[in-house]
Structure 1
């Protein structure tokens, strides 16, 4: 029996993924005209509404769709994914489990349940779902790749490498598998084998700055900076769930803490603030509208899309931190904030003096770093987290050498695997 709406639903899905929401709406209207009570139309319209920023409308549309088909497993798991993205984790987990009970053999349903597990940051659950799925579809390359990544995250390196080896044997030039194997080897400290992988990747793409960065790491070097391309990809991928994962999952409170500090220093909010690495606008959301200027900069366009929805920033620009500071006018800001940015920037000997030039007399540079031991190197790259760790005394010295007076305090930046990640916040004031 033919399905007159199938092609339209699939076309709408592709258009939504591409951000062509007006075109997707036209296609869904055609589908609804053909089958007025097709639950798939409502579910897809819900996905589209969320993409447009209308979360309440998305929930309403999806629930209408499920009223038409209460036991439709694909619809239930789509609702679960929406709930997970919006932080309703208990409800999402329950609905994902229900969908799997209704149709455990559906690849689409299992994909959705795996996605929910990842949103919940429950890697063990994701591994269980993937392993069960591979019993049904042993050759599913997507699931094998996800499982390899998750096993590596759990430090089950040998199991992860066995999966990477199988994927690469089937497709020797698969850059996702080659890169995944490289990451696992780096995390396991097997640098010589990782160097062989980076050599293979550079042979495929010699001008790739990300591969060159990992090649240096595999050779035991500590690159002074991470390439912008690496962070752009990382944060573009995470943008739609960033706030939920960081604030709820990792208990990240730094924007709230710094916003309180800034309001105490400037109760009238008459400041010109440059938010470097602004991400989704967490600092701006905590500050509210300024009686001055709030400019946000980030390397990730997807993160900037999220920040733009707040309608609090006077400007949002896709740019690298160093380029921004080099190009900004002298004495053009009262505050420069860089929260959870230096862990990706690395060496600060260029950025700190550049910030001094951009700040007005009396202005403040406020930034956070992950703390390293005082008897260790000035700069260290953690191979497991792939984040830079800074020695506090060295960072304070860089600030003083640039002409700042320095105040610093220890803090917990966030929680990783349930354990606190310790850091410090520098408030460096340009002496008037």
Structure 2
């Protein structure tokens, strides 16, 4: 696309006005403004780029792709149009083309920091951490010492297991600002992942001095002292899953071959083929169980701490209601004898201790009801509850079975299976079906 001097650009004012209108959600007005611009220059790539942004904001994803692809066709080497197409592809989980397009933009505009930010965002969405690291290093060549780029690079290096370099970056940030809580926490998390918890005590102590009573800092302080907290803070899980919400389905189902919702839905429907039942889905996430169940003749209630996950689940239009609360609070507050089925799939790996959850689930179930839940497997010759290096809890099978029987469940069926795959390796765990006895 040829550069046009501002004074010789007859549609610049319309484009600026339309962008502002789109930003404010004034989509009808933006469409009118773009129509005026198009009457002056019918085939300007900038018009179609803005039309794509407008279409996406209105919920018309198909129209957004058509407009952005038209923009790119008109100006194949114009960075802004290519970047917006790449970002849309990433937001729609079309990661292969998103990455390829992003890399093209980066080659075209290697010194553009806005392009760099978009490319790094796409890499993170695509779970392509190596790509993100490469571009973050390039960014630090452009802007040496940039605090945000160093934070992002340290976090990504830590996730790749490159702990020494990550620690150097975190330490440099802390030396620059001793009260940088993000850097302090980053160094704590890296030291824990590197198997050096005692070295994190000084930082967790500092964090609690800076923010007394903070539940997340207290959690990491316990880990630094070698203590396994029974539960993770709600704030920690909310932040984690809010950040994953838009890409969760693609990442879990396609990337990690996660099949638990389908497996459990099939078990439920085999017992209730007419779908006449009430279901409480604890840790419903983006609603994968609901998708597999479909509409039921009863209530399907979702519980999750992440508002962003619930927003994704609501799009399926199969849940009757959601509660954005901690699952232990939800169980405690729910009246007795209400549901035929309760599920908690891939939830207790974050919730931890089950001594309250299992008896409460038994209380809430109707007679002859079923409680389905999954756990990652801890070694039978070790503690009942293990917090793994990846930040997830594992449970000992025999302990879980004992808790179910103590709560009154009988029978308790436990099926060993691969819960998902990470780095092409199966994550070993088990699925529990705990049955509440029928009324006498």
Q: What is the TM-score normalised by the length of structure 2?
A: 0.90
- Corresponding residue to 1:209 among 205, 211, 215: 215
Unaligned runs of 5+ in 2: 1-5
Residue 275 of structure 2 aligns to a residue whose secondary structure is coil
1:397 aligned residue:
402
For the 8 Å contact 1:226–1:345, the answer to whether it is kept is: yes
Measured in 1, the distance between the counterparts of 2:401 and 2:430 equals 11
Structure of larger gyration radius: 2
Deviation at 1:387, TM superposition (A): 0.4
Contact 1:365 1:427 in 2 (8 A): yes
Q: Does 1:356 align with 2:362?
A: yes
Tell me, in whole angstroms, the C-alpha distance in 2 between the residues paired with 1:203 and 1:7: 48
Q: Secondary structure at the match of 1:63?
A: helix
Q: In structure 2, what is the Cα distance between the partners aligned to 1:45 and 1:326?
A: 49
Tell me, in whole angstroms, the C-alpha distance in 2 between the residues paired with 1:315 and 1:128. 43
Residues 40 and 373 of structure 1: CA distance in aligned 2, closer, same or farther (over 3 Å): farther
* Alignment partners' CA distance in 1, 2:147 and 2:35: 38
For 2:187 and 2:134, the matched residues in 1 are separated by 21
What root-mean-square deviation, in Å, do the aligned CA atoms of Structure 1 and Structure 2 show?
2.1
The SS at the match of 1:98 is helix
Distance 2:17 2:382 in 1: 60
Give the corresponding residue for 2:252: 246
What is the SS of the residue equivalent to 2:111?
A: coil
Q: Please give the residue correspondences for 1:413-428 in structure 2 after superposition, counting only pairs within 5 Å.
A: 413-428=419-434
Change (3 A) 1:395 1:364: same
Instruction: State TM-score, norm by structure 1.
Output: 0.92
Tell me, yes or no, if the aligned pair for 1:46 and 1:62 is still in contact at 8 Å. yes
Residues 40 and 241 of structure 1, relative CA distance in 2, 3 Å threshold: farther
Q: Is the 8 A contact 2:111 2:142 kept in 1?
A: yes
- Matched residues in 2 for 1:34 and 1:40: separation? 13
User: Structure 1: any 5+ residue segments left out of the alignment?
Assistant: none
C-alpha displacement of 1:115? 2.1
Deviates more, 1:390-399 or 1:44-53: 44-53
Instruction: State how many pairs are aligned.
Output: 424
SS in 2 for 1:105: coil
Change (3 A) 1:86 1:202: same
Counting only pairs closer than 5 Å after superposition, residues 193-232 of structure 1 correspond to structure 2 as 193-232=199-238
The answer for the alignment partner of 1:165 in structure 2 is: 171
Q: 1:402, 1:45 → 2: CA distance?
A: 59
1:59 to 2:61 alignment: no
Match of 1:428, SS?
Answer: strand
Note if contact 1:119-1:245 (Cα within 8 Å) is conserved in structure 2: no
Q: Is the 8 A contact 2:340 2:366 kept in 1?
A: yes
